[in-house]
Amino acid sequence: MRITTRHTRHLTLAAAATTALTLGLTACGTASDPDSGAGSDSSKPLTVGASATPHAQILEYVRDNLAADEDLDLKIKVFDDYVLPNTATQEGEIGANFFQHKPHLDDFNEQRDGSLVPVVNVHLEPLGLYSESAKDVKDIKPGQTVAVPNDATNEGRALKLLADNGLIELKKGAGTTGTLRDVADAKGLKFKELKAATLPRSLGEVDAAVINGNYALEADLKPADDALVLEKAEGNPYTNFLAVKKGNEDDERVEKLAKLLNSDEVKKYIEKEYDDSVLPVFGAVRG
């Protein structure tokens, strides 16, 4: 498996930002905090919560190269899980977030009575199957253990990837929130459910693991080269987008950021920086 170091510098900075955020999380702003990014005062900074890779990196590119021309004061807060960015946006501690796909947002809104809405699609990080021992998906055999994400939407997504590549069979009607109970035929495979962020570190302990694109990149994996199989982009419901609390879609700062995230400059940046491991997918969010 070929490991790249292209993003090491970005990861070091992102990790430092994540540590700072973790230590200071209880001190996050509220809706009345002038630096929180909540509300619609275009004279204040817009604070956006993001996963370290590639979301925060894309936002850093926008902030450093494009935002000034639009008179946008963009702040970035890095989060290392899939819940806090949404709760911080819902509670007005930050003005927007950029880390998730539609099935995850829908699950958050349903489970936590949230009112978050997508603004604009930006990119797709194809989910992939990785292994330190197997060189091909055909090398995954009965009796071996495959690790999968344990969160509601990404586990279903991982199981679909395995099913699409003939490793398991799912029950009819298994959807995006499928679980191991929806596996009709495991074909002798065993499964280990782990937090998504820990999956790259599990590769030395399991025979294979289904890893989200952002965490693969953070671990210096190159999805386009290192994955045994990857999701297809066409018709994929897991495009990542900018999201806000309902009612803030028309915030002038949000509109400016949405425009920049769908710009030709960002498209070129994504294509150059990530070599098909992250795919630009612009436009309105469907569904």
Task: State pLDDT tens for residues 224-274.
Answer: 999 999 998 877 889 999 999 999 999 999 999 999 999 999 999 999 999
Confirm whether 101 is domain-assigned: yes
Q: Which of 193, 210, 217 is nearest to 56 (CA)?
A: 217
Tokens of 29: 């702003």
Pair 178, 277 in one domain: no
Pair 170, 142 in one domain: yes
CATH number, position 93? 3.40.190.10
Confirm whether 111 is domain-assigned: yes
pTM value is 0.76
Confirm whether 57 is domain-assigned: yes
Q: Which of 119, 120, 118, 116 is nearest to 90 (CA)?
A: 116
Query: Can you give the pLDDT at residue 39?
Result: 57
Confirm whether 228 is domain-assigned: no
Confirm whether 216 is domain-assigned: no
Confirm whether 222 is domain-assigned: no
Domain region containing 166: 128-211
Pair 115, 36 in one domain: yes
Pair 111, 143 in one domain: no
Buried b (16+ CB within 10 A) or exposed e, 34-61: eebbbbeeeebbbbbbbbbbbbbbbbbb
The span from the CA of 64 to the CA of 60, in Å, is 6
The span from the CA of 15 to the CA of 171, in Å, is 40
Pair 75, 176 in one domain: no
Confirm whether 151 is domain-assigned: yes
How many domains would you assign to the chain? 2
Pair 20, 106 in one domain: yes
Is pLDDT at 197 greater than 70 in this prediction? yes
Confidence of residue 6 (pLDDT cuts 50, 70, 90): very low
The span from the CA of 30 to the CA of 94, in Å, is 8
Contact predicate 37/46, CB 8 Å: yes
Q: Which of 242, 217, 240 is nearest to 74 (CA)?
A: 242
